[in-house]
Amino acid sequence: MLAFIDRGPLIKKLQILDWWWNRKRRHAPRPAPARGVLILSCGGLGDTVLFSHVAERFSGLAHDGEPVTILLRSDAMKMVFLLPPEMFVISVDFSRFRKDMAYRHDITGDLFNKHYRLVVHTDYLRHPDLDEALVSAAMAPETAAMEPRPWRKYDARLKVNRALYSRLFDSGPPVRDKVLRWAAFADWLSGEKAAPPSTRLPEARLAPAAHFDTPVVVMQPFSAVKAKQSPPALYRNIIETLPVGTRVVVTGAPGDLERNPDFKPLLALADVEFDSSVFEDLVPLLRGASLVVSVDTALMHLSVAVGAPTVCLASAAYVGEIVPYDSALSPENTRFLYQPMDCEGCLGDCIHPAIDGMFPCVAGLDEDRVLAVVRESLNTAETPPS
């Protein structure tokens, strides 16, 4: 998800500057004829993992010999290794793009000078003064996007910005599986209907699996949205239900333990350790693990993508859009556990009071079911196929 905080006078200043810069650029010569495809994918880490499953479909929009460039948010660059190696990648620091006028001028000027033939904005959720400012500055002869997600605060601006695009695709209702939405958009652009994409990445893009003498279970209990985190007691009980001698690796970003000190006692348990490696360096561990247990976050999507047996402890907030994956995509290596709610699919805008700091749907996860699914998943992973 994108999280934006408007500061009224600053936003007005951005709009005025963008208008002035773009007005001057319209009369400026470009260094070369229009050539190449620019694909904007401005979601976070998890979105970038999911987008990697459809990236090649969008790169197929290039003419013979044309370069394809994908633009990511700078914080999503940690997942760039998952994208097709033939794609060029550029990044934009959205926080700096909002505040630093010199940086904004340089970024928008560079996009203009690149003179792309086609710009495709792949995000359903868009901000009129951030990612759409990039589309505007590129001034490509051809532009395409999906109709934007309804956003009451910006609906009027987003409606005006429809003029930025020469083609707009109606991708369906506001809540729809994110990967299937992208796939449908790519089909519409190409004019060809393809099979649903795989959620397993090609072997060639991945480091080989690590090999261990004892079973290894990886746990990712942390989320940027703390209300999505299950309590430490649940993870302790999972650890205690594992076979004796199982090595447990708790993963997280640097600082996660400091932000969540109640999880630190888990590291005092036998055979439990913490690993704060970057995502690319975790791939061999994930691929060699007997099981990965994770909150619904980027590490979980990565685990699914590299083929690790995975149990996702999810909220109901993104049901229908992100987790569980649509049945057309759902991989055999993954079990999604969540507490159904009448309000599921709220996209994190919870209408209920928190319970012990958790979304009620997270607090309502059935511990006995979680433990049973962990045991079943371990047994399945350890049983060779017949």
Q: Which domains does the chain have, with CATH numbers?
A: 15-190 (3.40.50.2000), 207-382 (3.40.50.2000)
Q: Please report which helix (H) or strand (E) contains residue 110, including its range.
A: helix 101-114
> Rounded to whole angstroms, how far apart are CA atoms 209 and 92?
32
* pLDDT for the residue 14: 87
Q: DSSP assignment of 68-109, as one string?
A: EEEEEEGGGGGGGGGS-TTSEEEEE-HHHHHH-HHHHHHHHH
Given a contact cutoff of 8 angstroms between Cβ atoms, the answer to whether 75 and 41 are in contact is: no
| Six token digits for residue 317 | 């907030």
Residue 46 has pLDDT above 60, yes or no: yes
Total-model pTM: 0.93
CB-based burial label for 121 (10 Å; 0-12, 13-18, 19+): buried
Residue 284 has pLDDT above 90, yes or no: yes
Length of the chain: 386
For the stretch 221-276, pLDDT in tens is: 999 999 999 999 999 999 999 999 999 999 999 999 999 999 999 999 999 999 99
β-pairing, 37-41 with 68-73?
A: parallel
Given a contact cutoff of 8 angstroms between Cβ atoms, the answer to whether 72 and 45 are in contact is: no
Residue 10 has pLDDT above 80, yes or no: no
Given a contact cutoff of 8 angstroms between Cβ atoms, the answer to whether 259 and 276 are in contact is: no
The torsion region of residue 230 among left (phi > 0), alpha (psi -120 to 50) and beta comes to beta
> Rounded to whole angstroms, how far apart are CA atoms 60 and 185?
13
Residue 15 has pLDDT above 80, yes or no: yes
Rounded to the nearest integer, the mean pLDDT of the chain is 94
* pLDDT for the residue 384: 44
Residue 386 has pLDDT above 60, yes or no: no
Given a contact cutoff of 8 angstroms between Cβ atoms, the answer to whether 308 and 249 are in contact is: no
Given a contact cutoff of 8 angstroms between Cβ atoms, the answer to whether 255 and 378 are in contact is: no
Q: Is 171 helix (H, G, I), strand (E, B) or coil?
A: coil
Partner residues linked to 19 by β-bridges: none
* pLDDT for the residue 92: 98
**Among residues of the chain, what percentage have pLDDT more than 70?**
96
Residue 104 has pLDDT above 60, yes or no: yes
| Six token digits for residue 222 | 């942390």
Backbone angles phi, psi at 136, to 5 degrees: -60, -45
> Rounded to whole angstroms, how far apart are CA atoms 242 and 244?
6
In the chain the first and final C-alpha atoms are separated, in Å, by 41
| Amino acid letter, residue 383 | T
Given a contact cutoff of 8 angstroms between Cβ atoms, the answer to whether 326 and 220 are in contact is: no
Residue 164 has pLDDT above 90, yes or no: yes
> Rounded to whole angstroms, how far apart are CA atoms 268 and 291?
21
* pLDDT for the residue 383: 53
Selected residue with higher pLDDT from 382 and 16: 16
For residue 1, name the pLDDT band (cuts at 50, 70, 90): very low
How much is the average pLDDT of 364-381?
A: 93
Q: Hunting for tokens 């590129």 — which residue is that?
A: 138
What stretches of the chain adopt beta strand conformation (E)? 37-41, 68-73, 88-92, 118-121, 142-146, 167-169, 216-220, 247-251, 272-275, 291-295, 310-313, 334-337
